[in-house]
């Protein structure tokens, strides 16, 4: 397949006379930095941090300037395209809609509703219109085969929020600005800028903790950028955090340090955890975690001694073989030490737009994937099952895909298998402005406008922010004629798929298109905790936000329990039956089945870099410059033993595949551990991004294994993949 796209390079010369300053929020990661963009006509002259932004106070990272590259990128699709005889051709929106709907309807008529699968990628969460209208398209499609990036990411957090606090979005965040002891397990906020913790300028905030005499402790198999500024870093063997946490809880009980304080009143099962963790003494697990027993005890005692400590874990803890139980133990550790819903601890937010009242509470295990019967959560199935549910013939097979802002061939386990699966589909439509490694298999691509041509409000990241703030960004550039916003595409497809032509349906559709996301956002703001309801003059509204281009500060996080619990009885349900049912698997994995796979003796983990973002910022010239970042890190002792030299091309192999890439010898990683960043592998034929192709790298997800999952939740295992390495 070749790409023959007509694209226009942007004009270069700036008319600096007619400058305009715009304030908005960068939507690339979770940090919500305020930015100041100076334009002249259609040209961007500069992008800087907005010093007056109530939340970020001028901070940005190098990615913010990439917003200009994205906007001006000649490789970005601006018109729908259709693949005809292997060649891409631009087509009109009308033709694209018509054909998409006809294909989807034909597949569903012939094979049933479930024959259409869906995949929602991460950028949907950073997009107001997609957040508000994505559900409508999914509902219209009526398929049970819904997948998303959630199951290679934060799925455990939603399950825990749902089970313990009664709602999948009731996820607490560390009150970083008021804490004096920050225990970080498997997160690298200095590179990622924080996750499930929206926190601009996290580095300064972490440094403030240590500057004021507090501690930042990092548990990570790599001495990361965050570990570098911490007071203490402990290496840990990948995937063994569950044992560390069990031993930490064990210490709490054995040393009589478990004191949930006022949480006791509404956490009935708290002291029963003692029974569950009793067998896991620090001495018992040391061999598996690599952290000495006395160090584990010290971790706990120091935590208890601190005035306002918090324990937080992210990707390294969530996306591994025991990710769900690990995150559960992190949450219960905070509960047992009275650090949930306490100043400086894990706290619940009070966002201005209240999604919690608008979204289902969540449900687990109501649906299952077709072949492997993996459990679904809130109507979504684990993406590790997607390829097999396409490839395995028979009743219920997925024959077509609707993809929205995602690139699962690079971002989900065993990408090669998914690549193959996508190739064999009867039909794929993708809503995306890039021709990437996944939608190169599409038949039709519907590209939305660029980020700067649409308005923005962070429905999700305000909900996960370390301070309550609210900020609305209007579209910076007027969208050009004959272009569409994500939400317009979603609504139009839903309307046409429903096929209803009666007057009421047509009028409802027209009204929705006319009102757009702004009307819904205004409703959410007015009906939220700071809104005035029907009193148009009182409280927060969209009009008020528009008048405050640097955002509105709504204050610190405050204790809200038990009234904010979404459980009927206003109690925290520890659901030990559900979570501790995973302990026999822990036992089996670590203690009964100790034979290490001698063919694949290394354990592979991931890595993020501040100039990258998942799979889709490698087409920005500014971001990819500098040395090759897609390397495999290996400890000097291992390199010497295997006669591997720095920068030498090595072969890394797993059960499912192999890749060849340069070695980077560094004692940043533990012995026996390899680290490769994800989101690379832009060497597949037929994608549309030329700069990324020139910095292709390899995809680490050609090594991660779709059969290796966190069985409790169905979440993927992307950290702790058994691999071998050898010189080539």
Ligand X SMILES: Nc1nc2c(c(=O)[nH]1)N[C@H]1C(S)=C(S)[C@@H](COP(=O)(O)OP(=O)(O)OC[C@H]3O[C@@H](n4cnc5c(=O)[nH]c(N)nc54)[C@H](O)[C@@H]3O)O[C@H]1N2
Cβ closer to Mo ion: 96 or 199? 199
Q: Considering the rule CB under 5 A, would residue 492 count as an interface residue with Mo ion?
A: no
Give the whole-angstrom CA distance, residue 255 versus residue 249.
10
Q: Which C-beta is closer to ligand X: that of 156 or that of 679? A: 679
Indicate which single residue of 49, 221, 344, 531 sits in contact with ligand X (rule: CB under 6 A). Answer: 221
Q: What residues between 252 and 311 interact with ligand SF4 by CB under 6 A?
A: none
Nearest to 576 by CA among 196, 211, 271, 355: 271
Per-residue b or e along 685-711, where b marks 16 or more CB atoms closer than 10 Å to that residue's CB = eebbbebbbebbbbbbbbbbbbebbbb
Q: Which of ligand X, ligand SF4, Mo ion, none does residue 341 bind to, with CB < 5 to 8 Å depending on kind?
A: none
Which of these ranges, 24-32, 37-45, 118-126, 531-539, lies near ligand SF4 under the rule CB under 6 A? 24-32
Q: Specify the residue, 32 or 723, whose C-beta has the smaller distance to ligand SF4.
A: 32
Provide the token pair at 277: 């963790």
Does residue 30 bind Mo ion (CB under 5 A)?
Answer: no
Tokens 């998942």, residue located:
614
Q: Which two tokens stand for residue 712?
A: 């409790």
Q: Is 612 in the site for ligand X (CB under 6 A)?
A: yes
56 sits near ligand X (criterion: CB under 6 A): no
Q: 686: number of CA atoms within 13 Å, CB side?
A: 15
Task: Find which of ligand SF4, ligand X, Mo ion, none residue 129 binds, CB within 5 to 8 Å per kind.
Answer: none
Considering only residues 178, 332, 350, 407, which one is a binding residue for ligand X as defined by CB under 6 A?
A: 407
Residue 60 touching ligand SF4 (CB under 6 A): yes
**26 contributes a contact to ligand X by CB under 6 A:** no
Residue 11 CB, shortest distance to ligand SF4, in Å, is 26
Measured CA to CA, the distance from residue 51 to residue 522 in angstroms comes to 26
Point out the residue whose Cβ comes nearest to ligand X: 316
Binds 28: which of ligand X, ligand SF4, Mo ion, none (CB < 5-8 Å by kind): ligand SF4
The least distance separating Mo ion from the CB of residue 130, rounded to whole angstroms, comes to 15
Pick from 530, 453, 135, 199: which is nearest to 347 by CA? 199
Q: Which is nearer to ligand SF4, 145 or 407 (CB)?
A: 407
Report 64-103 residues binding ligand SF4 (CB under 6 A).
Answer: 64
Count CB neighbours of 261 within 10 A.
Answer: 14
The reply on whether position 382 binds ligand X by CB under 6 A is no
For residue 164, give Cα distances in angstroms to 160, 262, 332, 430, 484. Answer: 6, 16, 10, 36, 41
Distance CA 350, CA 356 (A): 10
CB of 300 or CB of 700, closer to ligand X: 700
Contacts of residue 445, defined as CB under 8 A and 6 or more positions apart, other chains included, come to 77, 80, 81, 429, 430, 431, 432, 435, 439
What residue 64 binds from ligand SF4, ligand X, Mo ion, none (CB within 5 to 8 A, per partner kind)? ligand SF4
Scanning 29-37, 221-229, 385-393, 450-458 for contacts with ligand SF4 by CB under 6 A, the matching segment is 29-37
| Closest to 687 (Cα-Cα) out of 353, 285, 419, 295 | 419
Whichever of 535 and 683 has its CB closer to ligand X, that residue is: 683
**Options 26, 29, 342, 421; binder of ligand X; rule CB under 6 A:** 29
Estimate to the nearest angstrom the gap between the alpha carbon of 346 and the chain centroid. 19
26 binds ligand SF4 (CB under 6 A): yes
Q: Which of 43, 56, 100, 188 binds ligand X (CB under 6 A)?
A: 188
Dist CA 210 CA 12 (whole Å): 46
Instruction: Verify binding: residue 63, ligand SF4, rule CB under 6 A.
Output: yes
Q: Which of 36, 53, 153, 488 binds ligand X (CB under 6 A)?
A: 153
Q: Which of residues 432-461 bind ligand X (CB under 6 A)?
A: 432-434, 436, 448
Question: What's the sign of the alpha-carbon dihedral 147, 151, 154, 156?
Answer: positive
Our finding on whether 134 is near ligand X (CB under 6 A) is: no
Three-class secondary structure assignment of 618-685:
CCCHHHHCCCCCCCEEECHHHHHHCCCCCCCEEEEECCCCEEEEEEEECCCECCCEEECCCCCCCCCC
Pair type for strands 632-634 and 658-665: parallel
Q: Does 193 bind ligand SF4 (CB under 6 A)?
A: yes
33 sits near ligand SF4 (criterion: CB under 6 A): yes
Of 323, 305, 390, give the one whose Cα is nearest residue 114. 390
Q: Is residue 153 involved in binding Mo ion (CB under 5 A)? A: yes
Smallest distance from the beta carbon of 724 to ligand X, in angstroms? 17
Rule CB under 6 A: say whether 61 interacts with ligand SF4. Answer: yes
CA distance 242 to 589: 11
Q: State the DSSP code for 380.
A: B
How far is the C-alpha of 714 from the C-alpha of 705, rounded, in Å? 13
* Residue 455: contacted member of ligand SF4, ligand X, Mo ion, none (CB under 5 to 8 Å, by partner type): none
- With contacts defined by CB under 6 A, how many residues of the chain interact with ligand SF4? 12
Nearer to ligand SF4, 32 or 335 (CB): 32
Q: Which helix or strand (DSSP H or E) is residue 503 part of?
A: helix 503-527
Cβ proximity to ligand X: between 188 and 267 the closer is: 188
Q: Does 250 bind ligand SF4 (CB under 6 A)?
A: no
Which whole-number Å values give the CA distances from 605 to 106, 108, 251, 664, in the listed order? Answer: 43, 40, 28, 14
Partner from ligand X, Mo ion, ligand SF4, none binding residue 417, C-beta < 5-8 Å depending on class: none
Question: Hunting for tokens 């201005």 — which residue is that?
Answer: 352
Asked if 118 is part of the footprint of ligand X (rule: CB under 6 A), the reply reads no
**In which residue are the tokens 């800087």 written?**
48
Binding-site ranges for Mo ion (CB under 5 A): 153
Instruction: Return residues touching ligand SF4 (CB under 6 A).
Output: 26, 28-29, 31-33, 60-61, 63-64, 193, 200
Residues that bind ligand X (CB under 6 A): 29-30, 121-123, 127, 149, 152-153, 185-189, 191-193, 195, 219-222, 224, 236, 238-239, 241, 314-317, 320, 404-408, 411, 431-434, 436, 448, 486, 605-606, 608-610, 612-616, 678-679, 700-701, 704, 718-720
């Amino acid at each position: 397949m070749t790409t023959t796209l007509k694209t226009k390079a942007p004009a270069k010369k700036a008319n600096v006379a007619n400058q305009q300053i715009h304030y908005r929020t960068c939507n690339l990661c979770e940090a919500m930095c305020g930015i100041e963009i100076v334009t002249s006509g259609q040209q961007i002259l500069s992008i800087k941090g907005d010093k007056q932004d109530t939340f970020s106070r001028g901070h940005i990272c190098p990615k913010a300037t990439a917003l200009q590259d994205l906007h001006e990128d000649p490789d970005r699709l601006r018109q729908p395209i259709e693949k005809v005889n292997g060649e891409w051709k631009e087509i009109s929106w009308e033709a694209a809609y018509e054909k998409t709907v006809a294909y989807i309807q034909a597949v569903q008529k012939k094979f049933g509703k479930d024959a259409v699968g869906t995949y929602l990628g991460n950028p949907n969460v950073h997009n107001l219109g997609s957040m508000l209208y994505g559900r409508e398209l999914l509902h219209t499609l009526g398929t049970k085969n819904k997948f998303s990036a959630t199951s290679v990411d934060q799925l455990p957090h939603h399950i825990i929020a749902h089970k313990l606090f009664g709602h999948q979005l009731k996820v607490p965040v560390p009150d970083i600005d008021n804490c004096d002891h920050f225990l970080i397990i498997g997160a690298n906020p200095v590179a990622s800028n924080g996750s499930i913790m929206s926190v601009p300028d996290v580095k300064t905030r972490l440094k403030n903790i240590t500057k004021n005499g507090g501690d930042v402790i990092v548990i990570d198999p790599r001495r990361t950028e965050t570990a570098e500024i911490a007071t203490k870093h402990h290496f840990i063997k990948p995937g063994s955090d569950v044992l560390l946490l069990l031993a930490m809880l064990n210490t709490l009980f054995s040393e009589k340090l478990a004191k949930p304080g006022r949480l006791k009143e509404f956490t009935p099962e708290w002291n029963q955890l003692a029974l569950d963790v009793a067998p896991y003494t620090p001495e018992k697990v040391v061999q598996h975690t690599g952290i000495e027993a006395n160090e584990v005890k010290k971790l706990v005692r120091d935590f208890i001694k601190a005035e306002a400590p918090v324990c937080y874990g992210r990707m390294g803890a969530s996306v591994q073989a025991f990710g769900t139980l690990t995150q559960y133990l992190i949450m219960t550790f905070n509960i047992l030490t009275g650090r949930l819903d306490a100043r400086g601890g894990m706290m619940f937010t009070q966002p201005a737009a209240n999604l919690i009242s608008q979204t289902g509470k969540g449900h687990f295990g109501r649906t299952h994937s077709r072949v492997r019967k993996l459990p679904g959560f809130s109507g979504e199935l684990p993406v590790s099952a997607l390829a097999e549910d396409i490839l395995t013939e028979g009743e219920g097979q997925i024959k077509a895909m609707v993809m929205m802002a995602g690139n699962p061939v690079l971002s989900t386990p065993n990408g090669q298998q998914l690549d193959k699966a996508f190739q064999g589909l009867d039909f794929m439509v993708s809503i995306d402005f890039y021709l990437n490694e996944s939608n190169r298999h599409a038949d039709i691509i519907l590209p939305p406008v660029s980020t700067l041509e649409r308005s923005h409000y962070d429905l999700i990241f305000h909900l996960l922010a370390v301070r309550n703030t609210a900020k609305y960004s209007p579209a910076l550039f007027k969208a050009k004629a004959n272009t569409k916003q994500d939400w317009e595409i979603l609504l139009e497809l839903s309307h046409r798929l429903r096929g209803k032509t009666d007057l009421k349906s047509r009028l409802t559709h027209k009204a929705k298109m006319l009102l757009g996301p702004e009307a819904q956002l205004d409703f959410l703001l007015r009906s939220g905790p700071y809104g005035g309801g029907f009193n148009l003059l009182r409280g927060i509204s969209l009009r008020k936000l528009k008048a405050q281009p640097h955002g509105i500060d709504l204050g610190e996080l405050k204790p809200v329990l038990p009234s904010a619990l979404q459980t009927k009885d206003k109690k925290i349900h520890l659901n030990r039956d559900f979570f501790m049912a995973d302990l026999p698997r822990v036992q089996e994995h670590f203690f009964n089945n100790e034979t290490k796979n001698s063919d694949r003796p290394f354990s592979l983990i991931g890595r993020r870099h501040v100039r990258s973002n998942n799979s889709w910022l490698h087409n920005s010239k500014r971001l990819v410059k500098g040395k090759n970042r897609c390397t495999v890190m290996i400890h000097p002792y291992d390199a010497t033993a295997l006669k591997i030299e720095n920068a030498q091309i090595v072969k890394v192999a797993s059960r499912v595949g192999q890749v060849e890439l340069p070695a980077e010898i560094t004692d940043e990683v533990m012995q026996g551990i390899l680290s490769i960043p994800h989101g690379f592998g832009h060497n597949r034929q037929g994608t549309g991004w030329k700069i990324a192709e020139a910095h292709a790298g390899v995809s680490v997800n050609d090594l991660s294994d779709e059969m290796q999952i966190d069985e409790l939740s169905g979440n993927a295992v992307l950290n702790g993949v058994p691999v071998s390495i050898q010189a080539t």
